[in-house]
Amino acid sequence: MKNFTVKKLLLPISEYATVSLGTTLFDAILALEQAQEKFYHGKYQHLAILVLDDEKKVVGRISQHRILKAIEAGEELSKDLSKLKMFNFSDAYIENIRETLRLDTKVFTQQALKKAAGKKVEEFMQKPTPDEYVAESSPLDIAVHKLVSGNHLSLLVKRDEEIIGVLRIADVFVAACHGMKALNIGEK
């Protein structure tokens, strides 16, 4: 187990759901469904989509959480509210209004869902931060530290400067479980 590297567990980018910049949220969901249908490694399905630029480089990632945030109009309202800070309103006041607006906004209406479906992925994708990358040659320990400390669901795996795959938290979790079971802790 301690000799495991990221390379052992990564999923190649070719097996992942990918979309290009400019894709709508609805088409991104369809791409995820297609990728899930084709995927047959293990019992954990794909839960995220990678966004590629014209040069096929990964420029963003869309998780289920991001998709739900895009559907919830409260996210847009929050953007408008952020300007209140410039006008000396307190953080407590801004947060209070943000929550009130969120609770007052209906999500499952035809109008809201239709509007969300047409959003472009670049409007709601998460741009990778430096702590989300891991080298394919890194020990799995490093990957676990990064997943836990950054609260990430996956890491982007690099070979030199190129992103070649994704390391999912589910696969690392399975590896950790297998490692524990191999110790035969329950046996007397």
Partner 1 sequence: MEKLIGQTSVPIQGYAMYEIEKIFNRIIQRVNINLRDLAFDVSPFVRDHINLEKMSEFYAFYGITTDIPLNLKFIHSGLAGSYFLGNCRISNSLLYKSDIRGDELKRKGDTFQYKHFSIDLAKDELIDIETSALIKTLVHNYSHDPETPERFFIKDTLALDYSNIHGAPSDGCFLGSFATIDLTTMSDCVIGQYSYIQAGEINHLNVEPGTIWVNSPGQFNFLYQYPIERLKQYIHCSPEKGPTGLLIDFIEARKDAFNTIFDAVNLEDTIKVPENASLDRYAVVLPSTTISENVLVAQRAYLENSYLGRGANAQEHCFIINSRLEGGNVTAHGAKIIEADLDEAVFVGFNSFLFGKPAHRLTIGKGCVIMPHTIIDSEEALSIPQDTLVWGLVTNQQELQENSISLENLKKIETHTNQGNMFFEGSGSTFVQAFKDRIQHILEVNGAFFHEHNV
Structure tokens at 71: 């559907």
**Which position among 14, 87, 106, 110 is part of the footprint of partner 1 (CB under 8 A)?**
87
Closest CA to 146 of 125, 129, 126: 129
What is the sign, positive or negative, of the torsion defined by CA atoms of 149, 154, 158, 163?
A: negative
Residue 64 touching partner 1 (CB under 8 A): no
**Which position among 86, 182, 183, 185 is part of the footprint of partner 1 (CB under 8 A)?**
86
Residue 79 touching partner 1 (CB under 8 A): no
Side chain identity, residue 55: E
**Which position among 45, 96, 109, 137 is part of the footprint of partner 1 (CB under 8 A)?**
96
Please report how close the Cβ of residue 83 comes to partner 1 at its closest, in angstroms: 8
What is the sign, positive or negative, of the torsion defined by CA atoms of 156, 158, 162, 166?
A: negative
Closest CA to 66 of 129, 14, 116: 116
Number of residues that bind partner 1 (CB under 8 A): 9
CB 36 within 8 A of CB 49: no
Contacts (CB under 8 A) with partner 1, residues 127-186 = none
Residue closer to partner 1 (CB basis): 88 or 111: 88
Q: Footprint of partner 1 on this chain (CB under 8 A)?
A: 84, 86-90, 93, 96-97
